[in-house]
Structure 1
Amino acid sequence: MNKTIYIIRHCKATGQAPDAPLTKKGKEQAKELAAFLSDKNVHRIISSPFLRAVQTIEPFAAEANLKLETDNRLQERVLSSVSMPDWLEKLEATYKDFNLKYEGGESSSEATERIIDAVNDLCASDAENSIIVGHGGIISLLLHHYNQNAGIDSWRKLSNPDVYALQISGHDYQLRRIWVEA
């Protein structure tokens, strides 16, 4: 069976905290995203439980009359539980060494495994076309899984929102960016 998973990065948000809501612009983007997705014949929606991710897909879920599920495996990757003024350099290092792990955080390998588990569960489900909504860090690791050339630069190039289509047919897959910023 052929499956398409739309991988969505959340719209513009007020911050990084789990309860950070979308900005006014982010709410407008969520409506634009709903219109963009309207012809995709989606059967299932799974989102990070973080408020900005849920708010990103709520307009589409309401229009499509689909249940919005949340899954902790789609929440943003925690780089560290301690403040790191040089966090960007530390993040870059985790794209070079996927087993590198900072205090209270998870390695790129661990975070990749968790989002791949969520994707594999979707592939095993009856849903032909589905959506996952997440965050830049975790999504960039998913993109890297399917395209080894995608790394820190892929993370830098992600927009808010952003949409990729992952088409899977047996063991074959195709990943392409389909969002065009307005």
Structure 2
Amino acid sequence: MKQLYLIRHCSAEGQEAEASLTKEGRNQAVQLANTLGFVPFDKLYSSPFRRATQSIEPLALALDKPITIDDRLSERKLTAEPIDNWLEELEKTFNDPSYKLGGGESSEEAACRGLEVLEEAIQHTKEVALLMTHGNLLTLLLRHFESSLGFDTWKSLTNPDIYCLTFKDDCYESMKHINLERQGL
């Protein structure tokens, strides 16, 4: 049995790659480390975006584990230029996985790169790995295993949010959403 913890980063100041965690987000990262510090993680992977690395750093320090930075865990790029109706356009990408805007990624493209990391993590971990990523990519990865998940799942995500996937003989077996509010986050 292997487990992969897929985690959306803690509360951040913005969406830019260099956006830092808010004060609340920094507290959440410490609480996340306290909550998950008992889990015997073999490997820790993170998006290179600052809000993701800042979310995983307290746990990495507590466990004395290195963080593997992987660009494929970066947030999905919806479009090259800001648009006013981004929420409507994002929903379209969940309804049509091949739909994409100029300079952006389709859901298929983003999920494909994310799944590459996930599959590598399954192969390289002995028991438990953690992937720190972003809400949109997280939802696309979850949807690969549970097709009923989509736009509404993305809208309901919190910062941070945790899903634990279980694999038996490297094949998907189950998914568990870990309710952070009950964990004191």
By the TM > 0.5 criterion, same fold? yes
**Aligned positions of 1:33-182 closer than 5 A:** 33-170=32-169, 171-181=171-181, 182=184
Per-residue deviation, 1:172: 3.6
Contact kept? 2:145, 2:172, Cα under 8 Å: no
Q: TM-score, normalised by structure 2?
A: 0.95
TM-score (structure 1 length as normaliser): 0.97
Mapped to 2, the partners of 1:46 and 1:179 lie a distance apart of 21
* Residue in structure 2 matched with residue 17 of structure 1 by the alignment: 16
Q: Percent identity?
A: 39
TM-aligned CA distance change 1:172 to 1:77, over 3 Å: closer
SS at match of 1:69: strand
Q: C-alpha separation between the residues in 1 aligned to 2:71 and 2:92?
A: 25
Question: Please, which runs of 5 or more residues in structure 1 have no aligned partner?
Answer: none
- Give the letter aligned to residue 7 of structure 1: L
Letter in structure 2 aligned against 1:77: R
RMSD: 0.9
User: How many residues end up aligned between the 2 structures?
Assistant: 181
Structure 2 segments unaligned to the other structure (5+ residues):
none
